C-alpha cells in the first residue's frame, strides 16, 4: 500500500475496536462522533495532501528501507534537507487545518527510537534496533498514524518514578515473560491517539539504575487488550453537537487529547525497543524532545498564518484595516510568526548525522525554537483578540441569527462595513474565538506552552548546551585577559 488515501485512512480507523470513554460513556464509533470527527479530519488531511502532485515533494519521501514512496510522516531523516522539508510540511498542514494534525509526534518518535536503539544495541548487544526496523517497515508499508507516548502522569514531581506513593504513576514493566512483557501505567495529554493505528511508548525522563522497570519503550495497536483511553474536555467542545457550522468556528478540523491507560497490557518481544537499559532513557527523551521542539517551528506557524489572516479580515470587516495601529499589529504578528519559522528552519539546517545514519536537529537551536513558541503565540493571540474586538465573545448564536423575529435586527446592528454580510463577519469572529479561546486553542495557545515540555525544560537544555565557558573565553581574548 505505502500511501493510503484519506478515505482509506478513515475506514482503517473505523475497523479498530478501540476502547474510548467520553463524558462518562463509551464511544462505540469514534469515526462518526461529532465531537471527535474534526480531529480525525485533521489527520485525514495529511493523507489527502500526500495524494496531490503539487505537494508530493513535501508530503512524501523515499523509504531508505524499501525504496518505496511513503508518507513523510513515516520517514527517517537522512539529511538536513529532510529536516527542512519536515518543517515546511508541518507549516503546510497547519495552514490547511488551522489545528493540530497529530502525526508529528509519531514522526518524531520514529526518528528518536531509530537512533537510540542503534546505539543501545552497540553497547549492550540487544536487538532493539532490529525490532524497531521491522515495526517501521510495517508502519511505512501500511501508512500508519502512530501516536508517540512519552508523558507520564508523574504524581509527585519531587520524587523519582520508583519513589512514588503509587508506583504506577510512571508507566512500568510489572512482569517479564519469555514471550514479552506486561506493562501498567498511563500516558497523559496524548494528542490524536484515538485517530491512530499504533502507540509507540517511550520513557518520560532520564532514569537511574533503581528505576529499571520504568525504562521501557514499545509499540502496541490501539485496540490492544486492556488498553483504553479517556477523552479530555475542551472549551466549547459540545458546540459540535448543536449542528451549527457558524458557532464552532472551524467546522471541519480540530484536535483531541486523551489520558491513555495501560491496565496490564502485554507486549510481545518483537515490539520491545527498550527494556531496563536506564543509561539510554535520557538519550531517547532528549532526542525526542529535540525533534518535537523543532516541529513547533512548523505546525504552530501554519496555524499562526490562519490566525493572522483571520485578524486581517476582522479588521477589514470592522472597517479599521487602514488604521496605522492595526497595520502595525498585523506586522508584529507576522514578525513573531516568521521568527518561529526561522528557528525551526535554523535547527534543521544545522542538523548532523547520528551513529545510526539518521539526522538529528541542532538541539540547542531546537530548544530555542520551542522557548520562543512558549511566548510568541500568546502575543499573536493577544493581538488577534485586540483587532477582532468584543464581538468575538459576545456574538449571538447561529439560531438567533436565523430567528425570524430577531434575526433581521442582528443582521442590521451587527454589521460592520456595509459591503460585508453580517454572517461573514460573525464567521471570522468565531474562527478567531476557536483559535484563541475555543477547542483549537488547546492545540495552539496552550499546547504552545506545555507541548514538547514546559518552558523550564527548554531553559535547562539551553543552559547546558549554551557553552558559557567558550563565550567567556571569547570575551577574555578580546579584552586581553590571560
Q: Nearest-5° angle of CA 303, CA 305, CA 311?
A: 105
Residue for cell digits 525554537?
Answer: 369
CA distance 4 to 327: 43
For residue 161, count CB atoms less than 10 angstroms from its CB and return exposed for 0-12, middle for 13-18, buried for 19 or more.
Answer: buried
Give me the phi and psi of 84, to 5 degrees please: -65, -45
Annotated catalytic residue within 100, 120, 194, 347 = 100
CA distance 411 to 423: 8
Active-site residue flag, 296 = yes
Active-site residue flag, 46 = no
**Which DSSP helix (H) or strand (E) runs through 286?**
helix 281-295
Give me the phi and psi of 199, to 5 degrees please: -120, 130
Active-site residue flag, 257 = yes
Cβ neighbors of 275 (< 8 A, separation 6 or more) are 128, 173, 176, 181, 215, 216, 217
Q: For 414, which DSSP code? A: S
Active-site residue flag, 299 = yes
Active-site residue flag, 446 = no
Could you give the residue ranges of the DSSP H alpha helices within 98-127? 104-124
Q: Nearest-5° angle of CA 103, CA 221, CA 252?
A: 40
CA distance 218 to 173: 11
Active-site residue flag, 292 = yes
Annotated catalytic residue within 120, 194, 299, 369 = 299
CA distance 175 to 435: 44
**Which DSSP helix (H) or strand (E) runs through 360?**
strand 359-360
Annotated catalytic residue within 286, 316, 398, 447 = 447
CA distance 356 to 479: 43
| Beta-bridge partners for 216 | 275
Could you give the residue ranges of the DSSP H alpha helices within 296-421? 299-318, 324-349, 363-373, 376-388, 391-394, 398-402, 407-413
User: String of b and e for 279-297 (b: at least 16 CB within 10 Å)?
Assistant: ebbbbbbbbbbbbbbbbbb
258 and 36 Cβ atoms separated by less than 8 Å: no
C-beta neighbour count of 276 within 10 angstroms: 19
Active-site residue flag, 374 = no
Annotated catalytic residue within 74, 97, 292, 422 = 292
Annotated catalytic residue within 97, 151, 191, 422 = 191
For residue 125, count CB atoms less than 10 angstroms from its CB and return exposed for 0-12, middle for 13-18, buried for 19 or more.
Answer: exposed
Residue for cell digits 462595513?
Answer: 417
For residue 368, count CB atoms less than 10 angstroms from its CB and return exposed for 0-12, middle for 13-18, buried for 19 or more.
Answer: buried
368 and 457 Cβ atoms separated by less than 8 Å: no
Active-site residue flag, 191 = yes
Annotated catalytic residue within 93, 104, 120, 369 = 104
Annotated catalytic residue within 128, 214, 291, 296 = 296
Annotated catalytic residue within 60, 126, 197, 257 = 257
For the annotated catalytic residues, the residue numbers are 100, 104, 191, 257, 292, 296, 299, 447
Amino acid at each position: 500500500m505505502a500511501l493510503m488515501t484519506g478515505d482509506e485512512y478513515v475506514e482503517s480507523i473505523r475497523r479498530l475496536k478501540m476502547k474510548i470513554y467520553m463524558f462518562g460513556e463509551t464511544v462505540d464509533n469514534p469515526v462518526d462522533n461529532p465531537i471527535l470527527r474534526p480531529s480525525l479530519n485533521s489527520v485525514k488531511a495529511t493523507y489527502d495532501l500526500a495524494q496531490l502532485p503539487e505537494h508530493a515533494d513535501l508530503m512524501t519521501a523515499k523509504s531508505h528501507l524499501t525504496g518505496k514512496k511513503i508518507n513523510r510522516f513515516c520517514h527517517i531523516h537522512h539529511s538536513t534537507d529532510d529536516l527542512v522539508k519536515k518543517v515546511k510540511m508541518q507549516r503546510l498542514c497547519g495552514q490547511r487545518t488551522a489545528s493540530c494534525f497529530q502525526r508529528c509526534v509519531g514522526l518524531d518518535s520514529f526518528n528518536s527510537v531509530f537512533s537510540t536503539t542503534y546505539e543501545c544495541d552497540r553497547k549492550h548487544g540487544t536487538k532493539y534496533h532490529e525490532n524497531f526496523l521491522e515495526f517501521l517497515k510495517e508502519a511505512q508499508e501500511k501508512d500508519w498514524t502512530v501516536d508517540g507516548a512519552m508523558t507520564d502522569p508523574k504524581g509527585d514531581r519531587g520524587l523519582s518514578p520508583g519513589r512514588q506513593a503509587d508506583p504506577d504513576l510512571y508507566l512500568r514493566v510489572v512482569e517479564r515473560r519469555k514471550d514479552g512483557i506486561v506493562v501498567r501505567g498511563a500516558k497523559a495529554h496524548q494528542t490524536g491517539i484515538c485517530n491512530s493505528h499504533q502507540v509507540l511508548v517511550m520513557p518520560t525522563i532520564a532514569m537511574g539504575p533503581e528505576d529499571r522497570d520504568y525504562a521501557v519503550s514499545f509499540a502496541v495497536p490501539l485496540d490492544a487488550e486492556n488498553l483504553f483511553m479517556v477523552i479530555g474536555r475542551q472549551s466549547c467542545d459540545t458546540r459540535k453537537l448543536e449542528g451549527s457550522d457558524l458557532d464552532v468556528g472551524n467546522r471541519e478540523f480540530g484536535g483531541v487529547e486523551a489520558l491513555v491507560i495501560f491496565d496490564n497490557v502485554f507486549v510481545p518481544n518483537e515490539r520491545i525497543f527498550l527494556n531496563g537499559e536506564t543509561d539510554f532513557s535520557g538519550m531517547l527523551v532528549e532526542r525526542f524532545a529535540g525533534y518535537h521542539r523543532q516541529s513547533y517551528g512548523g505546525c504552530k506557524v501554519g496555524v499562526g498564518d490562519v490566525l493572522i489572516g483571520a485578524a486581517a479580515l476582522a479588521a477589514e470587516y470592522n472597517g479599521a484595516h487602514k488604521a496605522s495601529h492595526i497595520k502595525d499589529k498585523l506586522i508584529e504578528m507576522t514578525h513573531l510568526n516568521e521568527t518561529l519559522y526561522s528557528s525551526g528552519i535554523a535547527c534543521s539546517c544545522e542538523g548532523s548525522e547520528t551513529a545510526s545514519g539518521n539526522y538529528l536537529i541542532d538541539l540547542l537551536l531546537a530548544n530555542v525554537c520551542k522557548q520562543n513558541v512558549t511566548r510568541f503565540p500568546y502575543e499573536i493571540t493577544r493581538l488577534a483578540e485586540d483587532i477582532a474586538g468584543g464581538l468575538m465573545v459576545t456574538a449571538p448564536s447561529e439560531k438567533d441569527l436565523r430567528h425570524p423575529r430577531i434575526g433581521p435586527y442582528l443582521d442590521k446592528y451587527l454589521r460592520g462595513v456595509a459591503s460585508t454580510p453580517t454572517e461573514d463577519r460573525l464567521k471570522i469572529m468565531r474562527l478567531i474565538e476557536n483559535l484563541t479561546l475555543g477547542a483549537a486553542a488547546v492545540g495552539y495557545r496552550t499546547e504552545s506552552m506545555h507541548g514538547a515540555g514546559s518552558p523550564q525544560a527548554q531553559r535547562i537544555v539551553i543552559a547546558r548546551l549554551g557553552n558559557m565557558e567558550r563565550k567567556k573565553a571569547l570575551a577574555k581574548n578580546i579584552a586581553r585577559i590571560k
